[in-house]
C-alpha cells in the first residue's frame, strides 16, 4: 500500500468514519481488509474493527491495492476530491486533463509531455500524491461510472461500455470483473426502467452544505431562450450536435439526499461521461465548503456572508465560447440587456434543431464558425463589441486561444487580454465561468469594489486586489458571496453579465 503524501491524517479519517460525517464524503475512502471492500465514510454498514481498516485518499488507490467498491454505499456516488485538482502543479494539471479524456485519446507519454515531464516522473508523482498511477486513476474513473449506469439505468451493457470510455465490450467485461469481482450483467439483477421520455436518471452527489437555489438564481437571470430553461426547481438545456441532439434536466434529489437528480437523454453514449463531468464542474459539485469557509470566513467583510450562505457555490457555464460571447455583451450593461442581445444572436445564427427535444428549446448556440464573419450589428451589438466577438471566434479557430481547464490562471488571462476588446475583468470573468477557476477575480468590478468597502464607499481596484490576497485560492467564491450579498440587500439596477 502506498500512502499519498497529501492524505488526511488517520485520526481525522477515523473520527469522520465513526460519525459518518458527510462533509468528508469523497475526501477519503475506508477499506476493510477482512472483506476486501472499500467504502465511503458515510457507508451505513456496521463499522468494522479499527484493526481491519485502511484509509485511502481516493478510489483508484484502494482498487490498486485489490479492494472492490461497496455495493451498499456505492463509491461511484461520492463527490470528487478538489484538493488534487487545485493549483497549477503537474499532478493537478494532469488530473484535469484526464477528466477531459486525455488518456482516452492518447498515451501516458503524450499526457506527460503536455505537462512537461517524462512518463516515469508523472507516474511517480501520481503514486506519491494520489497512491495510484495515472492509468489506474483513469480506469477507476471509467469503471465507477459504468457501475453507476449499470445500477441506476436500463442502458444495454454494450452502451454502458461505450459510455464509460471502453471501445471494446470484451475489454470492458474483463476490466469490470477484475475490479468488482462480478460480471457487469450479474451486477444488474434488476435494471431500472427508463425515465421521463426515455431519459436516464442519475444521481450526482455533493458534499453538504450545497445551496442549489443560489446556483439556479444565478443561472436563471442568464438563461438563453431557446437553449436553456431555469425555474425555481431545475435547470434544463439542449445540446448538440444538431443531427443528434440531446437534452438534460437537473433538479434536487428528493428525500433530502446529498445529490442532484440528472435526467439525461443522450443519443451518443460515448459522450455521457464527458457530459456528466461537465455538469459536475458547471454546478460545482466537487467543492469542499469547509476548506473554502476556513479561508474566507476568518473575519472581515466575508464572515457574515459565509454564515448566511455557507453552501454558496461557483456556477460555471456550459461552453467556453458561449461564456466569452456573453461576457463581451455584458461589458458595461446590465445582465438583462446582455441576455437580450445574446438571445438575438441565438435566434439569428444559432443552429435550429430539426425537431425540438424539449418544449421551447429548439436551438443550439452558434459555433465560432458561424460568428467569425457575422455582422452582429444586425441584432443591435455595437461595432466595437461585434469586432471583439469576431476576434474571439477567430482566435479559437486558429488556436491562439482556448479554454483548456489545465492551463494556469495567469496564462489564461494573459492569452485572452492580448486580444482586442478583452480586458482583465472580462478574462477573469471568463475564467470563473468557463474554467470554473476557484481563484479568478475580476477586481475591477464596480459591485465588488462597493460591496467590499462595507461602509457605503468604494474601493479602488488596487485596494480590492490587495484585500483579496487573503482570500486565495478561493477568490472566485468571494466574488459570489459579495455579489449575492448585494442582491440579498436589494435588487441592484445593474449587475455584470
Q: Enumerate the active-site residues.
A: 39, 445
482/471 Cα distance (integer angstroms): 12
Give kind and range of the element (H or E) at residue 273.
Answer: helix 272-282
Residues present in the chain in total: 497
CB 2 within 8 A of CB 127: yes
Q: Please state, in angstroms and rounded to a whole number, the distance separating the CA atoms of residues 127 and 59.
A: 13
User: Which of 335, 346, 341 is CA-nearest to residue 226?
Assistant: 346
DSSP 8-state symbol, 362: -
For residue 398, the SS3 value is coil
Q: Which of 183, 184, 58, 484 is nearest to 309 (CA)?
A: 484
Largest Cα–Cα distance of the chain, in whole Å? Answer: 72
Nearest Cα to Cα of residue 283 among 332, 213, 231, 223: 213
- Report the C-alpha gap between 130 and 125 in whole angstroms: 8
In the numeric block, which cell numbers belong to residue 487? 442582491
**How big is the chain by its Cα radius of gyration, in Å?**
23
Dist CA 340 CA 397 (whole Å): 26
Buried b (16+ CB within 10 A) or exposed e, 138-174: bbbbbbbbbbbbbbbbebebebbbbbbbbeeeeebbe
Give me the residue label for grid cell 481498516.
53
Dist. CA 176–CA 391, nearest whole Å:
47
Q: Give the Cα separation of 470 and 298 in Å (integer).
A: 10
- In the block, cell 442519475 appears at 202
Query: What are the start-end ranges of the H helices in 25-89?
Result: 59-64, 82-85
DSSP string, 198-265: G-EEEEEE-PSP--HHHHHHHHHTTPPTTTEEE-SSEEEEEES-TTS-EEEEEEEPGGG-SEEEEEEE
Amino acid at each position: 500500500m502506498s500512502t499519498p503524501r497529501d492524505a488526511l491524517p488517520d485520526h481525522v479519517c477515523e473520527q469522520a468514519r465513526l460519525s459518518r460525517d458527510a462533509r468528508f464524503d469523497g475526501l477519503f475512502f475506508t477499506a476493510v481488509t477482512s472483506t476486501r471492500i472499500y467504502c465511503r465514510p458515510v457507508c451505513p454498514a456496521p463499522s468494522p474493527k479499527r484493526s481491519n481498516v485502511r484509509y485511502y485518499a481516493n478510489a483508484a488507490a484502494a482498487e490498486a491495492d485489490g479492494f472492490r467498491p461497496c455495493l451498499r454505499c456505492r463509491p461511484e456516488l461520492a463527490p470528487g476530491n478538489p484538493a488534487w485538482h487545485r493549483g497549477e502543479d503537474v499532478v493537478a494539471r494532469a488530473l484535469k486533463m484526464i477528466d477531459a479524456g486525455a488518456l482516452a485519446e492518447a498515451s501516458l507519454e503524450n499526457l506527460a509531455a503536455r505537462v512537461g515531464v517524462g512518463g516515469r516522473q508523472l507516474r511517480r508523482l501520481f503514486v506519491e500524491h494520489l497512491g495510484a498511477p495515472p492509468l489506474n486513476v483513469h480506469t477507476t474513473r471509467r469503471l465507477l461510472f459504468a457501475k453507476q449506469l449499470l445500477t441506476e439505468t436500463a442502458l444495454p451493457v454494450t452502451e454502458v461500455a461505450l459510455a464509460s470510455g471502453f471501445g471494446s465490450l470484451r475489454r470492458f467485461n474483463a476490466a469490470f470483473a477484475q475490479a468488482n469481482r462480478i460480471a457487469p450483467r450479474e451486477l444488474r439483477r434488476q435494471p431500472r426502467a427508463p425515465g421521463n421520455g426515455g431519459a436516464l436518471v442519475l444521481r450526482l452527489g455533493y458534499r453538504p452544505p450545497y445551496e442549489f437555489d443560489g446556483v439556479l438564481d444565478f443561472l436563471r437571470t442568464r438563461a438563453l431562450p431557446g437553449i436553456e430553461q431555469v425555474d425555481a426547481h431545475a435547470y434544463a438545456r439542449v445540446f448538440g450536435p444538431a443531427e443528434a441532439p440531446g437534452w438534460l434536466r437537473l433538479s434536487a434529489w428528493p428525500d433530502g439526499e446529498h445529490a442532484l437528480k440528472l435526467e439525461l437523454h443522450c443519443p451518443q453514449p460515448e459522450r455521457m461521461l464527458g457530459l456528466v463531468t461537465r455538469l459536475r464542474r458547471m454546478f460545482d459539485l466537487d467543492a469542499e465548503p469547509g476548506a473554502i469557509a476556513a479561508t474566507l470566513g476568518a473575519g472581515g467583510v466575508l464572515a457574515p456572508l459565509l454564515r448566511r450562505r455557507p453552501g454558496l457555490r461557483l456556477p460555471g457555464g456550459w461552453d467556453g465560447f458561449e461564456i466569452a460571447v456573453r461576457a463581451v455583451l455584458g461589458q458595461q450593461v446590465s445582465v438583462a440587456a446582455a441576455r437580450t442581445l445574446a438571445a438575438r444572436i441565438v435566434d439569428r445564427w444559432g443552429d435550429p434543431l430539426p425537431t425540438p427535444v424539449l418544449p421551447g428549446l429548439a436551438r443550439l448556440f452558434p459555433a465560432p464558425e458561424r460568428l467569425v464573419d457575422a455582422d452582429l450589428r444586425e441584432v443591435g451589438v455595437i461595432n466595437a463589441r461585434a469586432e471583439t466577438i469576431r476576434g474571439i471566434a477567430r482566435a479559437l479557430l486558429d488556436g491562439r486561444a482556448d479554454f483548456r481547464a489545465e492551463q494556469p490562471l495567469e496564462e489564461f488571462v494573459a492569452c485572452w487580454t492580448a486580444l482586442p476588446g478583452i480586458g482583465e475583468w472580462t478574462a477573469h470573468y471568463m475564467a470563473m465561468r468557463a474554467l470554473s477557476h476557484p481563484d479568478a477575480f475580476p477586481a475591477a468590478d464596480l459591485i465588488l469594489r462597493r460591496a467590499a468597502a462595507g461602509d457605503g464607499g468604494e474601493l479602488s481596484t488596487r485596494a480590492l486586489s490587495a484585500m483579496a490576497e487573503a482570500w486565495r485560492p478561493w477568490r472566485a467564491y468571494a466574488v459570489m458571496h459579495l455579489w449575492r450579498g448585494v442582491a440579498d440587500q436589494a435588487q441592484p439596477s445593474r449587475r455584470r453579465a
